[in-house]
Structure 1
Amino acid sequence: MLPPSSTSKSTSAPAHQPRVAIRAEESKAKADERPDEKNGDASARHPSALLSPGDETDVVAAQSESHTDFIVWWDEPEDQDPENPLNWSPWVKWTNILTISVISFLVPLVSSMVAPAVQVIMKDFDTTSTLFATFVVSIFVLGFACGPLVLAPLSELYGRVVIYNITNFLFLGFTILCAISQNEAMLLAFRFLSGFAGVATIAIGSGTIVDLMPREKRGRAVSIWSVGTILGPMVGPIIGGYVTEVAGWRWMFWVISIAIGVVAIIAFFVLRETYPPVLLERKAIKLRRETNNPFYRSKLASQATARDHITRSIMRPSKMLICSPIVTIMCTYVAVLYGILYLLFATYSFVFKDVYQFSTFSAGLVFIAGGIGTLAGVFYVGHFSDRTLKKRAAAGKTVTPEDRLSLIITLPGSLAFPAGLFMYGWSVEARVHWIVPQIGTAITGFGSILIFISIQTYLIDAFEGYAASVIGANAVLRGTAGALIPLSGLKLYDALGWGWGNSLLGFVALAFVPIPWIFGKYGARIRSLKGFELQVQ
């Protein structure tokens, strides 16, 4: 195939051109003047008509102000192009997904691992501030809220892998700086920055899954990736409590830094770029260089400048939160539950030390129950989520994002969360055996993961082209709630007691129970409302 040259350049063309699937598209301004279109030529009528790989078609550019663009796309057939991430082998796909899932587990683990060590840190820094006692845990999550606003748009401009690798090593560095902090302000500052950098896999991990997995196979992948974000905060205090009791609170950061360093190095060599616009742009650049033809461009290329792209990408999550009722309400639901969870994480050590006289290490072990409940929820969702979609597809029914909000998943989840809070609060209030409030925390963990996974997969499927943005919006609101709601935890319990304090939280969670059912039934109608697409552009 002989690529054309611009009229301002020599009309000579290279004798050979690589065999690639491209789309020949004439300048739209000249479309009506082409004789081929008047003669009924199909490719002229449809500018996106695909030229089969290997065809040697001579395309001669008109000697005018227009030129022919060569639109670079996946090689035909698309479902066999090895460069398309959707066609990668299961081994490569799952290696990438599991790697970002491990990082997504470690990051929130760091967020809560200081919880059982707070009193030790306060003694070391000679402070009695109750604000510091909760903020040293929740400020990390505040970094979660700010990070996606910057990292998500950068990933859409430069690719996912480069952001993963840079932030992984920044996360490592800031965690090390936490270990050598000399005062409250220094520790709080580096906790915030480590949360900011570490949130990358949580903010854009969903985008990687969309790149790699077709819709009917995403449920399991999202479940595995999501579980780390909930299980991590429950495992963190176990490690933090043990290391603090054995070696001191600073070694808590050194131990986790070693783990982060190992995973960051593995990720550097294992992770591959999956973002289609970046992959296709690389392909177009290669063709332009090999053929000396400047008119190859990616089908997904944007005409916006880098500054405009970043600005638009930063604004999109906020715009979705404000303009889309689905995003607003669903993200608010997740944020409220997440904030309540972090309130519990920040106060568990105080509750079990004061009421049950647990040691620092034992106070860390109380998070095991929530972890068990979370794992049970992951298996439950994994069993029913993709299975429901496959059954509908096999029956010839249309598969919609609303199928992710099946009542068999959302109803048990939305009821289990407040039920666990009631059980936990009143059993502590009555000072019954510690195993009873532990069962309550397990039930709460079970309910939370059912809601988190079902809502995240729903948002990803409903906003497939904006997966990173919608999950970024979710992360911003969730992180803000996770940082601020815990600040009221100890004061709430002081004012209302353990029973009514947790009951108040349970009543708030109960108010959201109808939400998944409403959007499961009417979500498709809401998404089809006139102007909806404009709201998320």
Structure 2
Amino acid sequence: MSSPTQPCPSEEEKGSVATNPTGDQNEESSGSFEVFWDEPIDQDPTNPMNWSLARKWTIVAAVSFITFLTPLASSMFAPGVPEVMVDFESSSIILATFVVSVYILGFAFGPLIVAPLSEYSGRLVVYNTCNVLFLVFNIASALAPNMASLVIFRFLDGIVGVTPTTIGSGTIVDVFPTETRGRAMALWSLGPLFGPIVGPVVGGYLVQATSWRWVFWVLSIVGGVSSIAFYFIVPETHTPTILARKAARLRKETGNNAYRSRLDDGLPARQRFLQSILRPSKMLCRSTIIASMCIYIAALYGILYILFTTFTEVFEGQYGFSSGASGLSFLGSGVGMLLGLVYAGSLSDRMIKLRLKNNEQPQPEDRLPWYIAIPGPLSIPIGLFIYGWGTDKQVHWIVPEIGNAVTGYGMIITLMGIQTYLVDAFTQHAASAIAACTVLRSLAGGLLPLCGLKLYDKLGLGWGNTLLAFIALAMAPIPILFQFFGAQLRARSKPLK
């Protein structure tokens, strides 16, 4: 109900505004006008959920491309490391590994900044700012005069490059309802795993034909073009931000400061900002669901990157691949991931749609049915076992490649199942939930490979990969357990702000 001293909304404004529904006449709420979507809500063209499928998929394609591009940069540089060591007169094996993995360490710190910012100020400003900085730091890396500067620029590049990996899920939540979200999540989930696989293939031939600096020039060119395209293709999708801007526009047009978004929590800007910054860490520490899933994904990511450290040595040393062709050894994992993408993408929404068809309320646990929670986690140790003993006994190279394909197949199914589960369980703060997951998996992917070669030196490829397979097997029941007990854990959890 509006205060008698305040002007009432015009007929045009009434489609966007509802007077305070509680009728509370106390303090500021007595004169507030709630700003929400125009009635009928399912026809308001400013509501991202009502946009056409063509527009939604164009947005998802743009986000998915940069989600592929930035992880690509993590490994595309790897084949050029020997040249870097010569140019900068260094012989440290640890430094040679660190100049590659420091990018992944940037992935561990970036989510703590970009995810809360996207929930505080909107997705678009974070995307566009980080896209430009990604371009800047790649140019700086191409011009790096010494190893120290290259390491610093790579680290900063990782911090801003993690943006689409962190908040892409939030964009998908903004535009797709639960029952059609699975395929979009499948496309987006491919980038963080497939990018590091394609990187060495392209980088190997590029370094062979030019120099390591051209890796960064190519990334700069592609990053610059994609940043411009992204700016014009992707609009703001974050509902609280859109409604807050709508309320601000109405306040300006009418001169009435009573207009407020229905989603405005009334917190001062400083308090809301601090709350947003702390949210990913609080979610990781306070939520059993997020902590368990994040630790599992981090372990799998660490295993995958340890596995990657052996590819060049194995396929060049044992199978006689050239330095350029050795990058092709990553394609086995890539083929497996593509197959996993098709499998998981086609089945992810199946249980959700079945629930809705039966007039039942979908649950986040519907993202982890047996045909997702069993084949994915079990394929990973099987693939590691095949790769490990295939290379240990030096059988034909196709055998370890089949093992890599099986591992990649399991990785994408498991990653997608867990990420869609977290998104559905924490929809309002999906970006922060994925940020918490990205932090741990990036730390594992950046640090564990530093000790990977020592593991294989002591145990050999056969027993070394068998150990990793047993670790993956021991953690495989986690998605299955959440299928049965996830709802109980969610019911006991305190609301996360």
TM-score between the two structures when normalised by the length of structure 1 = 0.89
Instruction: Using the aligned pairs only, state the percent identity.
Output: 50
1:94 maps to what in 2?
57
513, 526, 532: which one pairs with 2:476? 513
Mapped to 2, the partners of 1:254 and 1:439 lie a distance apart of: 34
Mapped to 1, the partners of 2:10 and 2:262 lie a distance apart of: 24
1:23 maps to what in 2?
18
Deviations 1:102-146 (A, max 9, x none): 000001010011222322322222222121222122111111110
Mapped to 2, the partners of 1:514 and 1:174 lie a distance apart of: 41
SS at match of 1:209: helix
Mapped to 2, the partners of 1:335 and 1:15 lie a distance apart of: 54
1:459 maps to what in 2?
422
Matched, 1:449 2:444: no
**Letter in structure 2 aligned against 1:421:** L
Structure 1 residues 523, 256: closer, same or farther in 2, change over 3 A?
Answer: same
Mapped to 2, the partners of 1:278 and 1:393 lie a distance apart of: 29
Alignment of structure 1 residues 263-342 onto 2, 5 Å:
263-342=226-305
1:5, distance to aligned residue in structure 2 (A)? 6.2
* Residue pair 1:26, 1:68 contacting (<8 A) in 2 also: no
Deviations 1:10-33 (A, max 9, x none): x666877534232211787647xx
SS at match of 2:32: strand
* Residue pair 1:137, 1:346 contacting (<8 A) in 2 also: no
Deviations 1:444-467 (A, max 9, x none): 111100000000000000111111
* Residue pair 1:26, 1:67 contacting (<8 A) in 2 also: no
**Letter in structure 2 aligned against 1:519:** F
1:357, distance to aligned residue in structure 2 (A)? 3.0
1:245 maps to what in 2?
208
Alignment of structure 1 residues 125-140 onto 2, 5 Å:
125-140=88-103
Mapped to 1, the partners of 2:290 and 2:148 lie a distance apart of: 35
* Residue pair 1:389, 1:403 contacting (<8 A) in 2 also: yes
1:392, distance to aligned residue in structure 2 (A)? 2.9
1:50 maps to what in 2?
none
Alignment of structure 1 residues 41-440 onto 2, 5 Å:
67-440=30-403
SS at match of 1:18: helix
**Letter in structure 2 aligned against 1:121:** V
* Residue pair 1:116, 1:363 contacting (<8 A) in 2 also: no
Deviations 1:240-265 (A, max 9, x none): 00100111111111112111111111
**How many residues matched?**
497
How large is the Cα RMSD of the aligned pairs?
1.9
- Structure ID, larger Rg: 1
User: Could you list the runs of 5+ residues in structure 2 that have no partner in the other structure?
Assistant: none
Deviations 1:130-164 (A, max 9, x none): 21222122111111110111111111222101110
TM-score between the two structures when normalised by the length of structure 2 = 0.96
1:66, distance to aligned residue in structure 2 (A)? 7.3
* Residue pair 1:160, 1:273 contacting (<8 A) in 2 also: yes
* Residue pair 1:415, 1:513 contacting (<8 A) in 2 also: yes
* Residue pair 1:177, 1:190 contacting (<8 A) in 2 also: yes
* Residue pair 1:209, 1:222 contacting (<8 A) in 2 also: yes
* Residue pair 2:20, 2:30 contacting (<8 A) in 1 also: no
1:316, distance to aligned residue in structure 2 (A)? 1.5
Structure 1 residues 336, 300: closer, same or farther in 2, change over 3 A?
Answer: same
Deviations 1:329-350 (A, max 9, x none): 1111111111111222233222
* Residue pair 1:138, 1:342 contacting (<8 A) in 2 also: no
* Residue pair 1:244, 1:251 contacting (<8 A) in 2 also: yes
Structure 1 residues 121, 353: closer, same or farther in 2, change over 3 A?
Answer: farther
Alignment of structure 1 residues 516-535 onto 2, 5 Å:
516-529=479-492, 532-534=493-495
Structure 1 residues 350, 28: closer, same or farther in 2, change over 3 A?
Answer: farther
1:182, distance to aligned residue in structure 2 (A)? 2.2
Mapped to 2, the partners of 1:457 and 1:291 lie a distance apart of: 42
Mapped to 2, the partners of 1:443 and 1:267 lie a distance apart of: 34
* Residue pair 1:157, 1:306 contacting (<8 A) in 2 also: no
Structure 1 residues 484, 296: closer, same or farther in 2, change over 3 A?
Answer: same
Mapped to 2, the partners of 1:413 and 1:289 lie a distance apart of: 53
Structure 1 residues 127, 347: closer, same or farther in 2, change over 3 A?
Answer: farther
**Letter in structure 1 aligned against 2:442:** G
Mapped to 2, the partners of 1:492 and 1:127 lie a distance apart of: 24
**Letter in structure 1 aligned against 2:13:** P
463, 472, 476: which one pairs with 1:500? 463
Mapped to 2, the partners of 1:463 and 1:401 lie a distance apart of: 9
